A and B are shown apart, each in its own frame.
Chain A
Amino acid sequence: MTEAATTLPAAGTLSITDPRVIRAIELVWREATLLDAKDYHAWEALYADDGIYVVPIDRDADSFDDRLNMVYDDARMRSMRVVRMTEGFAIAAVDAATTVRTVSRFVPTTVTDDEVSLKAAQILVAFKRGRHDFWAGDVDYVVRLGADAGADRLVRKVVRLIDAEGAVPAAGFLL
């Protein structure tokens, strides 16, 4: 397992009060809100063209090409996924669970004028047909800062579920 503590910058060096970090967190919260609202077209627009969105099976993994993942989307796969989630043919998406997620426990790991990397926790509750499913995971974000906040884009989001190596439900929504 990746030991988060070993990769953190020294205490006091980076702060969530840094305006660049605040912009990154605002983007992350915006993304979370759009996913809960299932506004997938607006969601897709938050990603850079070279951005990747990954839900690995191996929680230790940092490269994903040579292993099996639950999700490993580049721009092409992401746009097909958005079509799938919105066009009305996918019965899992049509009858998807209602979700509410919280993203918090932010720790910035690198901050420059161009890019902010964050570690965070995400707790999501999905409700469907009388059942609540819990999805918990660590999330790594890399946000590329644009000329203004409206131009900030996600270049990397990796959701490491605590039960990634176990059996999770099949989902009609995105993490």
Chain B
Amino acid sequence: MSETNTTNQHVSFLKYQGKYKGLLGWILSTDHKRVGLLYLYTMLVFFSTAAILGLLMKLELIAPGMTIMGPQTYNAMFTVHGIIMIFIIVVPGLPAVFGNFFLPLMIGAKDVAFPRLNLLSWWVYVIGILTVLSSQFIGGWPDTGWTFYAPYSFRTPVNILPALFGAFILGFSSILTGINFIVTMHRMRCPGMTWFKMPLFPWTLYATAWIQVLATPVIGITLLLTVMERVMGVGIFNPAMGGDPILYQHLFWIYSHPAVYIMILPGMGVISEILPVFSRKRIYGYKAIVLSSLAIAFVGYFVWGHHMFTSGMSGRALYAFSFLTFLVAIPSAIKVFNWVSTMYKGSLNLQTPFYWAVSFIFVFMIGGLTGLVLGSLATNVHVHDTHFVVAHFHFIVFGGTGFSFMAALHYWFPKMFGRMYDRTWANTGWVIFFSGFLTLYLPMFYLGILGMPRRYYDYLPEFHGGNIISSLGAIAMIAGILIVFVNLIRSSRHGEKVTEKNPWGGRTLEWQTDTPPTLENWETEPTVTEQPYEYK
């Protein structure tokens, strides 16, 4: 703590003038808070892009037959929508934005362990995005679906290589973030911050970081093998050359199932932060939440086969994967139980972050319980590759990660920008978004059970009714997103000023420092003496 001359000036990190000015002062900044915001702004742009693609697909499905696009365009749309949403938005998602911004603050550190590596991760991320997008100019948009399944990936006439390489590069960004967080939590906790005094969001980041570091290389290798298959015809996945297309599915899901936990675990951490603050009560079962996070991360490695129940795996493998999938439901249910118990007899403070957090639990439950339908062998065969899967998936990934992201944004917004958003508009946006979300995705469960397959631009006339409701829901949801975004963007510049350190009355460390935080976060290094959620 020798560099006290800069920390004592009380200059917010937003205004701090370093070596570079203007835009360069941001894209070359190694300050974890600025890196977090860089990620946030990048994601805002690409989330909006992919959301519009989603809306266009729903408009195509509003009536049977060709409505606004043909099959090839539709295939490209769901592929690009998937690639952007998965690899660019939800996988980096909460760790890259809120992990970067708040992990050091919450454990009382001045920055992450490797600030330069942190900045590099954002640059790698941008290079990955540009590589994915370059596919538009060299050979057309990919059309295989975001899963790049063999044999589509080596037989499609469009140039799939930029998308594969782009996803490969994005993986490195993820690994860098993971390594950084692990080292930060092992070495940079402030005095008194023992492992079991650490708030729950850092704990879930810790579990996530291990998945990022251990699982991401698998997808990297898999994508490279697909490149080799396509360019050199090595015959690993191509059955005509003695390869095995199911091997591709194994390798792909060995990463991509744990990736679902990269997406959802930090979201669960955010909810575990918000609920005690807005219930004015200590979290119920702190250790159970910590251990269930680690259990989810561990068991989550061994359930990937539930994506392949109809692919032709051996019967015994089917039983094993189905059983393991049911196991992973247990720690998730423990968390839901703990959240609900935290609110029980609490003194509820009904604010926007709380609304987002509670609706998270609601949609996460629907997503989780329909996951059991998919995890059991008999029912899976019936709904496999139908809209049921699409609905389940969006309830978990959009409902889980998306809602918790919005909750986090509304919770930490005053700390990040030193301003408050308009609460009436924020609540209005949430109501419209939430009702739009349910109207969009609930009919898909029904359509799926009736047998409407996913990934087609057209459908039989008997599916028309459900699709009209769903498409109208999409329009409502996009309207909700617009209200939320416009309100937040406007408020980040013109909102009511917040100078109070702790507007919500939180007990964790990030609320003990200036609003917005100074460059090095603390004037004097904080010391922790009690548990993170001690409400008296």
Do A and B originate from a single complex?
no
